Amino acid sequence: MRYRELGRTGLRVSELGFGTIPILSGHVPVLPEYFSPDRDTAVAIMKNAFDHGCNFYDTAIPEEYGDAEMKLGAFVKTVDRSKVIISDKARFYSGAEIYREVLRSVQNLGTTPDVYFVHQVDDSNADEVFGKNGALEALYDLKREGKIGFTGIASHYYSVLHRAALDPRVDVLQGSGNILERGMLDRIREEADFRGKGFILNKVYAAGLLIGPFSTTELIGGVLEYPFSCALLGIGTFEQEEVAFAREYEPVHFEFEEVLERLRKTFAPIGCDRCEKCICPYGHELHTSFRQFNYYHLGKEFWAVNKLWMDLERTYEHCRSCEEQPCMRDCPRGLHIPEEIERVHRLIMQYGKT
């Protein structure tokens, strides 16, 4: 296992970390598969990762990750606490709420989290999170009180992560990316504002959907060239763990076109890398629709189509009458966005509402 600096925290984290979603039990509507191991098995799986050199474990409060936080707390008691780095998170945006959640997490874990993230920050809640009496201010206070080690912002949006990168109260960022959805990673690599912040990468396997067209060696090796601190892998079984942690991966470089070419063996993907540069004045989140289209063909049919129904009909109607089409000016991939929206629309019409 190789190790990287976690920004300016002074912590060194394993290049590959343990994402705890797959070990949770409970009815939590999260996307990736989870395996519900009992507590002892979950602890043994986490311990095995530790023995392979993993020192970074990421979890969230029970409403988001079931009992994973408690299982992680049980594991930590079996090893030298100073050798394990715990990150935790909660989807609350006001200072009072996140303060309460951190205290609850400390109880559940039985120890102080090294990093605590405000989870799922987006444009609709960012002003509250970053503003006066917001969640970030509370995390900053908790850090000074010694109740957490470092502060974090977790988001799927470049605009939010960039705002966090510019904020001196933030120590660590968490965002998504993989060899297909690499646009945000490319932007972060190019933007000097991100230097000095720790960066935790999730969705390396795209919630498991890219396993099949690509091997885990290609998926892990394909992101190693990016300047993250730790890439989380969702682990729910000893078998998955052996694949993830029992060997050292070498960087593999894929051109974006090579990734699309591989996918074309089974379907015609929309060649969007989710750079999030396209701006639609009607507020349509194009990259999410394009992701759902690709995810549909990669095997998440019901989930992807149901999510697409949320906004797509409105987007389709707007695109048909949109004359200036400003979204296309900034697309570095040269996508004809209205035509791609039409393809997505055809897919959901053919699939029908479920």
Can you give the binding site for ligand SF4, defined by CB under 6 A?
A: 183, 272-278, 280-282, 284, 286-287, 290, 318-319, 322, 325-327, 330-331, 333, 335, 337-338
**From the CB of 187, what's the least distance to ligand SF4, in Å?**
10
Sign (positive or negative) of CA dihedral 94, 97, 100, 104: negative
**From the CB of 335, what's the least distance to ligand SF4, in Å?**
5
Q: In this complex, which beta carbon is closest to ligand SF4, that of residue 59 or of residue 294?
A: 294
**From the CB of 185, what's the least distance to ligand SF4, in Å?**
12
**From the CB of 188, what's the least distance to ligand SF4, in Å?**
14
Q: In this complex, which beta carbon is closest to ligand SF4, that of residue 143 or of residue 284?
A: 284
**From the CB of 252, what's the least distance to ligand SF4, in Å?**
22
**From the CB of 184, what's the least distance to ligand SF4, in Å?**
9
Q: In this complex, which beta carbon is closest to ligand SF4, that of residue 197 or of residue 291?
A: 291
The answer for 132, left when phi > 0, alpha when psi is -120 to 50, beta otherwise, is beta
Q: Cα 168 to the chain's mean position, in Å?
A: 22
How many angstroms separate the first and last alpha carbons of the chain? Answer: 45
Q: In this complex, which beta carbon is closest to ligand SF4, that of residue 109 or of residue 327?
A: 327
CA gap 56, 88 in Å, rounded: 11
**From the CB of 261, what's the least distance to ligand SF4, in Å?**
17
Q: In this complex, which beta carbon is closest to ligand SF4, that of residue 33 or of residue 330?
A: 330
Q: In this complex, which beta carbon is closest to ligand SF4, that of residue 100 or of residue 333?
A: 333
Q: In this complex, which beta carbon is closest to ligand SF4, that of residue 97 or of residue 311?
A: 311
Q: In this complex, which beta carbon is closest to ligand SF4, that of residue 244 or of residue 319?
A: 319
